[in-house]
Amino acid sequence: MALSRQAMFSLNICARNLNQLSRIESLQSKPKLRSYSRPVTTALENYESSIYSSGKTEYANVNWDELGFALTKTDYMYVMNCSKGEEIFSEGILTRFGNIELCPSSGILNYGQGLFEGLKAYRKEDEGILLFRPEENALRMKMGADRMCMPSPTVEQFIDAVKMTVLANKRWVPPHGRGALYIRPLLMGTGPNLGVKPASEYTFLTYASPVGNYHKSPMNLVVEDKVCRATPGGTGGVKAVPNYSPIYKALTQAKAKGFTEVLFLDALTGRNIEEGSACNIFILKGNVISTPTVHGTILPGITRKSVIEIASTLGYQVEERNVPIEEVFDAEEVFCTGTAMVLKSVVSITYQGKRIEYKMGEETVAQKLHATLTGIQTGLIEDKMGWTVEVD
């Protein structure tokens, strides 16, 4: 199936020189697109051979030690479409990373019909590359797509798309221990819609960017007791695009006062902690680690799920339950988890003017969990859980 220029989603391709542009355009003009399960196209293989030579990995010209969590434009992105009347996504293609065009009345622009995921690829000491639990991201996207009345790629399509995106941008995967390649899959309603209804056509796209730490500074949280992140029956439990911008005001105001993150309370009672703007939260007291239960208003984080399993294997008692705000007053440690930040200790929480500080340092439980988790992610610790996937 050829890539139509009249489809509601099209690509403005950015190329570094005319040579590369002509190769990519010839790739797009082929009448039969490459299957997502087949090897990388000849054009891409030729391009990669100019980057990786003599069997030794070469890297993009990036100051890896200065990486934060911001977009660095890489080489390729991966695109699949689902046409009107179909429930199955077409074969995908790799294309140069660049701007996209959307119909002004597309579902994503007018009604926020979209989902996204986030996962990382890590470089091992031997230069191999690992993905961390991509199947979980695929399953979470399928769950979100069902909630948002959208078709979703199969688990196999999702994972293959992620792998292809990583391979095509291999030189952007940071050296071992100096960051990760963050992959952002997007599922969007791209068909034109003036009325309030699901879009007629959909696009699945994955792009990537090398990243460092999400929060380089210490984590100081402030409790937000006026703005709610999510309400029962809403979309707080899925990674929907419209979940995030409504909390920008609270987050911006908090950062203006010197805080790192906002901790939101439940909408029904205003008494239980739920999650941050982009992270799940845990509290520690004694041998017990507690985290708010996932019941529709809290995103079921994959890092959260992994930390629960690791903590249990290390002998800690893990409780998923309602956690009243009062319990942060006498917690010994507090830490947050998420794909972007991984796992980070919280220095303090401020609630109604009262500041509570927590244990920090190398001997904390949070650091122990962080070392185990990142060890598995980067291949330093044997993956007995079966969580990592080799990219080759």
The domain that holds 131 is classified in CATH as: 3.30.470.10
Give the confidence band of 21 by pLDDT, cuts at 50, 70, 90: very low
- Domain count for the chain: 2
Average pLDDT over residues 290-307: 96
Active site residues: 239
Alpha-helical (H) ranges within 176-267 are 248-256
Q: Are 35 and 91 in contact (CB under 8 A)?
A: yes
Residue-wise pLDDT for 164-196, tens only, equals: 999 999 999 999 999 999 999 999 999 999 999
> What CA–CA distance (Å, rounded) separates 36 from 47?
19
Collapsed DSSP state (helix, strand, coil) of residue 297 = coil
Nearest CA among 260, 251, 169 for reference residue 215: 260
Residue 37: its pLDDT value, please?
32
333, pLDDT greater than 50 = yes
Q: Residue 37 domain-assigned?
A: no
> What CA–CA distance (Å, rounded) separates 38 from 91?
10
Nearest CA among 334, 59, 328 for reference residue 174: 59
Nearest CA among 284, 271, 285 for reference residue 323: 271
**Beta strand 219-224 pairing with 342-351:** parallel
Residue 47: its pLDDT value, please?
44
Residue 119: its pLDDT value, please?
98
Average pLDDT over residues 86-92: 90
> What CA–CA distance (Å, rounded) separates 185 from 135?
13
Asked if residue 343 and residue 287 are part of one domain, the reply reads: yes
Give the confidence band of 32 by pLDDT, cuts at 50, 70, 90: very low
Between residues 368 and 30, the one the model is more confident about? 368
Average pLDDT over residues 288-305: 96
291, pLDDT greater than 50 = yes
Specify the CATH number for the domain of residue 263: 3.20.10.10
**Mean pLDDT, rounded, of the chain:** 88
Nearest CA among 101, 297, 82, 64 for reference residue 200: 82
1, pLDDT greater than 60 = no
Asked if residue 344 and residue 271 are part of one domain, the reply reads: yes
Residue 327: its pLDDT value, please?
97
Asked if residue 274 and residue 203 are part of one domain, the reply reads: no
Residue-wise pLDDT for 270-279, tens only, equals: 999 999 999 9
Alpha-helical (H) ranges within 112-247 are 134-147, 155-168
3, pLDDT greater than 50 = no
Asked if residue 175 and residue 269 are part of one domain, the reply reads: no
Residue ending a domain, choose from 211, 242, 262: 211
Asked if residue 362 and residue 262 are part of one domain, the reply reads: yes
Asked if residue 191 and residue 87 are part of one domain, the reply reads: yes
235, pLDDT greater than 70 = yes
Give the confidence band of 138 by pLDDT, cuts at 50, 70, 90: very high
Nearest CA among 239, 212, 233 for reference residue 304: 239
**pTM given for the model:** 0.85
Q: Residue 83 domain-assigned?
A: yes
Q: Residue 77 domain-assigned?
A: yes
Asked if residue 199 and residue 241 are part of one domain, the reply reads: no
Residue ending a domain, choose from 211, 232, 263: 211
Residue-wise pLDDT for 104-136, tens only, equals: 999 999 999 999 999 999 999 999 999 999 999
Average pLDDT over residues 266-273: 96
Q: Residue 349 domain-assigned?
A: yes
Give the confidence band of 85 by pLDDT, cuts at 50, 70, 90: confident
**In residues, how long is the chain?**
392
Q: Are 230 and 243 in contact (CB under 8 A)?
A: yes
Asked if residue 336 and residue 238 are part of one domain, the reply reads: yes
Asked if residue 291 and residue 198 are part of one domain, the reply reads: no
Residue 346: its pLDDT value, please?
98
Q: Residue 357 domain-assigned?
A: yes
Q: Residue 363 domain-assigned?
A: yes
Residue 43: its pLDDT value, please?
40
Average pLDDT over residues 198-221: 94
Residue ending a domain, choose from 158, 183, 211: 211
- Write out the two tokens for 301: 């984080």
Q: Are 343 and 370 in contact (CB under 8 A)?
A: yes
Give the confidence band of 46 by pLDDT, cuts at 50, 70, 90: very low
63, pLDDT greater than 70 = yes
Asked if residue 224 and residue 198 are part of one domain, the reply reads: no
Residue 77 C-alpha from the chain's centroid: 15
Asked if residue 232 and residue 180 are part of one domain, the reply reads: no
Asked if residue 224 and residue 201 are part of one domain, the reply reads: no
**Beta strand 9-13 pairing with 288-292:** unpaired
- The CB-based long-range contact list for 57-62 (8 Å cut-off, 24+ gap) reads 57/127, 57/170, 57/171, 58/171, 59/171, 59/172, 59/174, 59/175, 60/171, 60/172, 60/210, 62/172, 62/174, 62/210
Domain that holds residue 169: 64-211
Choice among 26-35, 75-84, 261-270 with the minimum mean pLDDT? 26-35
> What CA–CA distance (Å, rounded) separates 27 from 42?
9
23, pLDDT greater than 50 = no
Give the confidence band of 56 by pLDDT, cuts at 50, 70, 90: confident
Residue 217: its pLDDT value, please?
87
Residue-wise pLDDT for 335-381, tens only, equals: 999 999 999 999 999 999 999 999 999 999 999 999 999 999 999 99
Q: Are 391 and 130 in contact (CB under 8 A)?
A: yes
Q: Residue 41 domain-assigned?
A: no
> What CA–CA distance (Å, rounded) separates 47 from 331?
53
Residue 239: its pLDDT value, please?
97
Q: Residue 336 domain-assigned?
A: yes
